[in-house]
Amino acid sequence: MSDLTPLQKTLLDWFEENRRDLPWRKRYDPYEVWISEVILQQTQMDRGVQYIERFLERFPTMESLAEADEEEVLKLWEGLGYYARARNLLLAARQMVAEHGGTFPEDVQTARALPGVGRYTAGAVLSQAYNQEEPIVDANVERVLSRLFDVDAPIKSSQAQSFLWETARSLIPKGRAREFNQAIMEFGNLICGKKPSCMLCPLTEQCEAHYLGIVDHRPVPAERRPAVPVEVASGVLVHKGYIFIQKRPEDGVWPGLWEFPGGNVEKGETPAECVVREFMEELEWDVETAEKIAIIRHGYTTFKVTLSAFLLRFKDEHEGWPEPVLHAATEGQWVSFAELGKYTFPAGHRKLIDMIARDMRYAWFV
């Protein structure tokens, strides 16, 4: 006789029939599971899978990643955001090669001591790669459990989180952590999604929220702080058909990424005045705006950024290549437009590059 509860059995049976072929499910190799889990944090599955395949093709083993150049890892990561994750992957891979024989540790405390490995990532790798009875609570599991058990506290509150982690642990059937954790995540992704498909759900009879008719109110949303508006200006300085870019310092926002110089628009100044001032402060270059390229709006963590981008030229004639005095960067480069593709930019600047590429006004240097 099965010693599974009806809930466990239903989820495992459902997974057996509905599991998708995903890259890390071929072999459950610890390295591949780890890379996949980190990429999928904050990323939609379809998009994430493309990144996982590209990443594993370029860095198929822990050793190959440990030997990688940070610039190349960041470039592969471009578009996923949260670049600290990519840097931590590299640091953790180097640490695992140096201290753990090039494999992901099987002990949860040792795993959690690695850069970027928290409770979620440790649980995801240990349960899927080593079948250890460690829980995982991601957004999918939050949705499923908060509906099944009618969790009425805001989902990110410590009260809700400790209930969810304890429940997720207690539900794992002995010896079947790998399947069960995937089953509940997959179920949250395919059935109990943001708009749940209760009509197709095999768990309706066990679902508190469904019984109470409050599915739309679970999970209780986390209290959101309103986004802070920020106005910035950046300049694409073109000289003899080449564009100036600079590399951001290792501390602060977007460490190590490349950018078009610029900064925050100050009170009482226009974006055009701002970009001219920033070039003087950051590079000691006297520039003027030739024209406005575009206004780009994008979100960054809790900020709502409005980026005004300008085409710039030097105010005075320069025969050669003026040397910048770098005050806000570790490196500067003159590059052709085509070469911009080799560098990693924050999302707003990448959007700007794409807009320039499509705009006939700039065909002369693109």
- Residue 219 engages ligand SF4 in binding (rule: CB under 6 A): no
Please identify which residue in 147, 178, 247, 248 interacts with ligand SF4, judged by CB under 6 A.
147
Choice between 153 and 347, CB closer to ligand SF4: 153
Shortest spacing between CB 136 and ligand SF4, in angstroms: 17
- Residue 164 engages ligand SF4 in binding (rule: CB under 6 A): no
The closest of 232, 64, 37, 55 to 140, measured between CA atoms, is 37
Strand partners of residue 294: 309
Within the chain, what is the greatest distance between any pair of CA atoms? 87
- Residue 237 engages ligand SF4 in binding (rule: CB under 6 A): no
Per the rule left: phi > 0, alpha: psi between -120 and 50, beta: everything else, 256 is: left
Do the beta carbons of residue 232 and residue 306 sit within 8 Å? yes
Judged by DSSP in three states, 303 sits in strand
User: Is residue 37 annotated as part of the catalytic site, yes or no?
Assistant: yes
- Residue 215 engages ligand SF4 in binding (rule: CB under 6 A): yes
Please identify which residue in 126, 145, 171, 191 interacts with ligand SF4, judged by CB under 6 A.
191
Choice between 201 and 243, CB closer to ligand SF4: 201
Helix (H) or strand (E) holding 335: strand 331-335
* CA 360 – CA 88 distance, rounded (Å): 40
Quote the DSSP letter at residue 199: G
Stretch near ligand SF4 under the rule CB under 6 A, chosen from 66-74, 93-101, 189-197, 288-296: 189-197
Degrees to nearest 5, angle at CA 108 with 163 and 2: 60
Structure token digits, residue 78 = 């471009």
In single-letter form, the type of residue at position 67 comes to: E
Choice between 148 and 296, CB closer to ligand SF4: 148
Site string for ligand SF4, 93-132 (x = CB under 6 A): ----------------------------------------
Structure token digits, residue 140 = 């999918």
Please identify which residue in 122, 172, 207, 329 interacts with ligand SF4, judged by CB under 6 A.
207
- Residue 192 engages ligand SF4 in binding (rule: CB under 6 A): yes
Candidate list 37, 186, 259, 278, residue with the active-site label: 37
Catalytic residues: 37
User: Which residues contribute to the site for ligand SF4 (CB under 6 A)?
Assistant: 144, 147-148, 191-192, 196-198, 201, 203-204, 207, 209-210, 215
